[in-house]
Structure 1
Amino acid sequence: MGEQETITPEQAAYAYAHWWREAGLDCATEEVPRRWRDGEPVPFWRREPGVARAETAPATEAPITPADVQPATVAAEGSRKVEARSPARALSQMPASLPAFLDWLAQDEMQPERHWDGANLTLPALATPHIVLIVEMPAAGAETLDQVLEPQQRRFVTAMLAAIGVKPEDAPCLPLALRRPPGSLLDAGVMPQLATRMSHYLDLVRPGLTILLGDRIGRAMLGESWRPGSSNMEKVDLPGRSLDIISLAGPDLLMNRPLAKAKSWQTLRLLHGTLTQ
């Protein structure tokens, strides 16, 4: 029998790092804290085998003096003018008419989706629609609002609406985010701004009923009044009017979980009179 080649743990780690580098991953994780403002040390996979990592002397940083700190702009005693783009501030800057709002949405450089890849969808200029469906994000590769849902999701939602006597064209499906985010996951920090923006849009178009498809949208739009699995219709007060909202599970969950599908069906049946009046 042939002898097996033995390698040291350091050599194994060296070969492992080289394998990942060839696969396109050019970074490493080290246990030793790094001083990122110092000169970048040579990664261990680029060093000669057996050469220890040279320790870098801690860089001395100049102490921060009160003169270096810029004072915050104070609007009034006890209050501070916050420059962050919070949902409340974003709401105050949104135009009060639907055409102006849609133009602002298309041109404003501060929108969260501005630098994401993919087609940037536009919200339609609806006029008091009977029902509006809202999902978290467009499907992969979506270029129009008709493609917001995956084909299988679209067929399922169409069948769900048909069961309560509603045609798909009478219940447009809109995305909370107008582009699909990197990694297909909306960051929790972006959700409040997107929810505030959508609430303002709904306040302008005045739908009869809004159906939220997805728990994350329900939490963002309803806030503390959201309850998982709730079958109640919530009434949300907006500056222009109150909005009737029901929150259901997302399309994928409804298709793959019979219990969630049955629960949502019961909710729609209880609201059948509201949906078809």
Structure 2
Amino acid sequence: MRGIVQNGPADAAESLLSWWALAGVDHAVNELPVNWLRPAVAPARVRPASPGGDAPRVDRPDALPNDLSAFHAWLTTHPSIHEAGWSSQRILPAGAQNAAIMVICDLPDPEDAETGTLLSGNCGALFDAMMAAIGRSRQDIYLSSLSVTRAPGGILHDQDLEILATRMRHHIALAAPQRLLLLGEKTNRALLAADSLERPSGLQSVNHPAGTVPAIASRHPRFLLKHPEAKAQSWRALQYLIEDLPS
């Protein structure tokens, strides 16, 4: 107001507009709304290209060990496996090569971090009961998971599944089981047809670098604990699994 009295309305308006221009405001209205309280987004960091082009992904099949013991060691110590940034604790597969049944789940549960083994706690108790029902135990199966660490929020995204499934096919070839039991929707989607979990109608084939292996999908024990009505369907899947399988 003091400027208007001393210099007149026109001079005051011109002075105000000049001040806003210096502040970077060159128009009063935009076609799109702007959230002025949103923090500024940092510019994306560009990863410098290597002299020989893109570096090979560490989980690529031709970069993986071709011996089961060496593969276990690689899962244990390699700093750049796909899921290395999710958790520092890796829950490793357990069991012997050429087992009658290789069980594959999606990823470790929170209880598994306490025991250092897959399928612990209540899930483990139910899983052990499932194996006992078909005359098996943990001592005579090979137990593994797509991811050796727990993903944030326990969620495996499609891009994760693609990478982990490729590595698991290599893993299956090294373990050389007679049959596969795939636990959970994510595991099934990664390695079998999308609807095989909903309608178990017999063994299907999972391809791997050394050939194929018969497989069946079943609900994960964590699902069965919440939905006991699905146990009958899982029991049918287990019957398919052991059909004509040498004891």
TM-score normalised by the chain length of structure 1? 0.64
Partner amino acid, structure 2, of 1:193: I
Q: Which one of 226, 239, 245 corresponds to residue 269 of structure 1?
A: 239
Answering whether residue 173 of structure 2 is matched by residue 169 of structure 1, we say: no
Amino acid aligned to 1:248:
S
| Structure 1 residues 241 and 144, CA gap change in structure 2 (3 angstroms) | farther
Q: Deviations over 1:225-250 (max 9, x none)?
A: 65341312111232213112111111
Partner AA of 2:35 in structure 1 = E
Conservation of the 8 A alpha-carbon contact between 1:98 and 1:205? yes
Larger radius of gyration: 2
Provide the identity percentage: 25
Seen in structure 2, the aligned counterparts of structure 1 residues 139 and 266 have a Cα distance that, compared at 3 Å, is same
> Mapping of 1:82-161 within 5 angstroms?
85=57, 90-124=60-94, 126-143=96-113, 147-161=117-131
Which stretches in structure 2 are left out of the alignment for 5+ residues? Answer: 1-33
Deviation above 6 Å: which 4+ runs of structure 1? Answer: 70-74
The corresponding residue for 2:20 is none
Partner residue, 1:242: 212
C-alpha RMSD of matched pairs (Å) = 3.1
The 8 Å contact of residues 58 and 64 in structure 2, kept in 1 or not, is answered as no
Alignment partner, residue 229 of structure 1:
198
Q: Hey, what does 2:230 align to over in structure 1? A: 260
2:205 and 2:212 in contact (8 A); partners too:
yes
AA paired with 2:136?
Answer: V
1:146 deviates by 6.2
Q: 1:238 to 1:172 in 2, by over 3 A?
A: closer
Correspondence for 2:41:
36
Distance verdict in 2 for CA 1:107–1:168, change over 3 Å: closer
Gaps of 5+ in 1: 1-29, 39-69, 75-80
Q: 1:141 to 1:165 in 2, by over 3 A?
A: closer
The 1:276–1:253 alpha-carbon spacing in structure 2 relative to 1, beyond 3 Å, is farther
Query: How far apart, CA to CA, are the structure 1 residues paired with 2:186 and 2:171?
Result: 19
Kindly state the Cα deviation for residue 85 of structure 1 after the two structures are TM-superposed: 3.3
Instruction: Check conservation: 2:101, 2:181, Cα contact below 8 A.
Output: yes
Residue 111 of structure 2 contacts residue 121 of structure 2 at CA under 8 Å; is this kept in 1? no
In 2 relative to 1, CA 243–258 (structure 1 residues): closer, same or farther, beyond 3 Å? same
* 1:137–1:37 distance in 2 versus 1, CA, 3 Å: closer
Q: Distance in 2 between matches of 1:86 and 1:189?
A: 15
What is the CA deviation profile of residues 62-108 of structure 1, one whole-angstrom value per residue up to 9, with x for unaligned ones?
xxxxxxxx99999xxxxxx7657396xx1121122223323333333
Structure 1 residue 34: Cα displacement: 6.7
Q: Aligned AA for 1:227? A: S
Equivalent position SS for 2:215: strand
TM-score (norm 2): 0.71
Change (3 A) 1:238 1:141: same
